[in-house]
Homo-oligomer: A and B are copies of this chain.
Amino acid sequence: MPERRTAELHEAVKRRLEERNIRYTRGRRSVVTALVRIEGPESTAELHRRMRGVPLSSLYRNLVVLDEAGVVQKHHDADGLARYELAEWLTGHHHHVVCVDCGTVEDVSLSDEDEEMIGRLARQIAERAGYRETGHNIEVEGVCPSCQHD
């Protein structure tokens, strides 16, 4: 993500939080900063490693706050551990490829036509079960480049 955009992103987050009377503190800023550099949802352990000086309890607490404010999106990997990334209104709509070997998750975007197709299928799936759709995404499993050694 280009330098330029990062400042705008922080501004957008700040506005979003202020609308909800939540302060955009240094700890929360550093969560967002750590998340900007990332290719796909990262574990809390990894995020903590990237953020020297921020206590684990604060990280957890702020992830909850940012999640409830819709700034961040929470996922779970194959072991059930939490992984976070910036919400789609900040990064754009995308899907995930998960490595079945090492557990890494990467973001992938599709063309507008393909997205439309998926959207239609998702609506159909929801409708068939009597659900009111609120979102969808394709989870693709595979073996990532660096795990394909044999």
Interface on A for B, CB 8 Å cutoff?
Answer: 74, 76, 78, 80-82, 95, 97, 99-100, 106, 108, 110, 114, 117-118, 121-122, 124-126, 128-145, 148
Checking B81, B117, B138, B148 against A125 with a beta-carbon cut-off of 8 angstroms, the contacting residue is B138
Residues of B within 8 A of A114 (CB): 121, 124
Supposing A136-B139, A143-B134, A144-B130 touch, asked if A117 and B121 sit within 8 A by C-beta, the answer is yes
Residues of B within 8 A of A131 (CB): 97, 99, 140, 142-145
- 4 A-B pairs with least C-beta separation: A131-B142, A76-B76, A130-B145, A135-B141
Residues of B within 8 A of A108 (CB): 125, 128-129
Assembly CA distance A132 to B100 (angstroms): 10
Supposing A81-B80, A100-B134 touch, asked if A95 and B144 sit within 8 A by C-beta, the answer is no
Residues of B within 8 A of A80 (CB): 76, 80-82
Supposing A76-B76, A100-B134, A131-B97 touch, asked if A140 and B126 sit within 8 A by C-beta, the answer is yes
Please determine whether B106 and A129 come into contact, CB atoms closer than 8 angstroms: yes
Residues of B within 8 A of A128 (CB): 108
